[in-house]
Structure 1
């Protein structure tokens, strides 16, 4: 999937900024500016449509975390579809700035932008989320670390859904035992999956 980080679809040609389109919900069809950041890979509409078809019954009134937000394509789509609150974490200052501007354009106060490194931020005080998007920069081996931190540090609600995206050639990351794969697909050079965090009864563990 492509988004603002290192290595999604390449930045806009000739230094021009691009746009991310909201597919459905209250802001259906809106196009929002995307900062021209090196390695920015906004999620393609094709992949995004599949993801949100999977998530359609689960988004309304959920608390969402877009951990490598980039263009905000996933987090803002969830917000458009009536997620109750969305946290967008992005370490690039320019991309984070554009996210704040886009939220102002939408007139939304149901999201907050955190300008921080994801792995460091996850080591802080936790609050549980119902839905988490993980689309990190490719070829930096970030998924194993952030998945462990999400599970161990209390960032996931019981029954949380976790979306993962990685490059096709990368080996699947080691994931917590409580994460059950429920959807799995590939588009071009990208693999993407949806996991359910099962509640494990300590008496059965």
Structure 2
């Protein structure tokens, strides 16, 4: 794994191989990450990454949030409750040398609780596939006021998720066994 673009382009991230099934760690491939960021930055959305506050749910290795940071995000908050994932994430944060603009929260992404700070403009949602955890995490974010009005959500799943009520589906693409859905939060 490596950072695909931006300021840290080419930076090699910590090795995870094919992932860790016991820890439910399944990193987003470089190819899929590149496709996601091409859609975001070259699609019809302007540039939702530049200057954004990013929330990386089920962060795992942190590759999505770190990629956003390399491409101009202002701040990234990583959420994961797995010990293996947080260890890899910490190694990757050390490699990026960007401690002042990142937060790492050990918590269940499906139970975010109330947000006590500003909302997030861009959310990466990459739950373990096929367990409906993405739906629960998104509902928790809405309930806790984690999203800014019209925040963009990039949801990675094995099958096309049904957007929650009030969310607008902007795009959906399939890459191998991965479906990427881009949503816009309500106002």
Shorter-chain TM-score tier: 0.7 to 0.9
Q: Deviations over 1:12-60 (max 9, x none)?
A: xxxxxxxx21000111011110456333211112211111012221111
The DSSP-based 3-state class of the residue aligned with 1:69 is coil
Are 1:29 and 2:10 matched, yes or no? yes
Residue equivalent to 1:153: 144
Q: Tell me the TM-score normalized by structure 2.
A: 0.87
Offset, 1:139: 2.4
Partner residue of 1:181 out of 169, 173, 178: 169
Q: Cα gap change, 1:181/1:62 in structure 2, threshold over 3 Å: closer, same or farther?
A: same
After TM superposition, the structure 1 = structure 2 runs for residues 102-121 of structure 1, keeping only pairs within 5 Å, are 102-108=92-98, 109-120=100-111
Counterpart-to-counterpart distance in 1, 2:170 and 2:151: 12
Offset, 1:79: 0.7
Q: Deviations over 1:98-141 (max 9, x none)?
A: 21222122210211111222122x12434410000111001222
Counterpart-to-counterpart distance in 2, 1:116 and 1:151: 16
Residue equivalent to 1:43: 28
Kept in 1, the 8 Å contact 2:69–2:76? The answer is yes
Q: Cα gap change, 1:34/1:124 in structure 2, threshold over 3 Å: closer, same or farther?
A: farther
Further displaced range: 58-67 or 148-157: 148-157
Q: Which runs of 5+ in 2 are unaligned?
A: 42-46
Counterpart-to-counterpart distance in 2, 1:90 and 1:118: 7
Kept in 2, the 8 Å contact 1:147–1:176? The answer is no
Q: Tell me the TM-score normalized by structure 1.
A: 0.79
Q: Deviations over 1:152-175 (max 9, x none)?
A: 22111012100111113xx63350
Following TM superposition, where does structure 1 have runs of at least 4 consecutive aligned residues deviating by more than 4 angstroms? none
The DSSP-based 3-state class of the residue aligned with 1:150 is helix
The DSSP-based 3-state class of the residue aligned with 2:20 is coil
Residues paired across the two proteins, number:
176
Counterpart-to-counterpart distance in 1, 2:31 and 2:73: 21
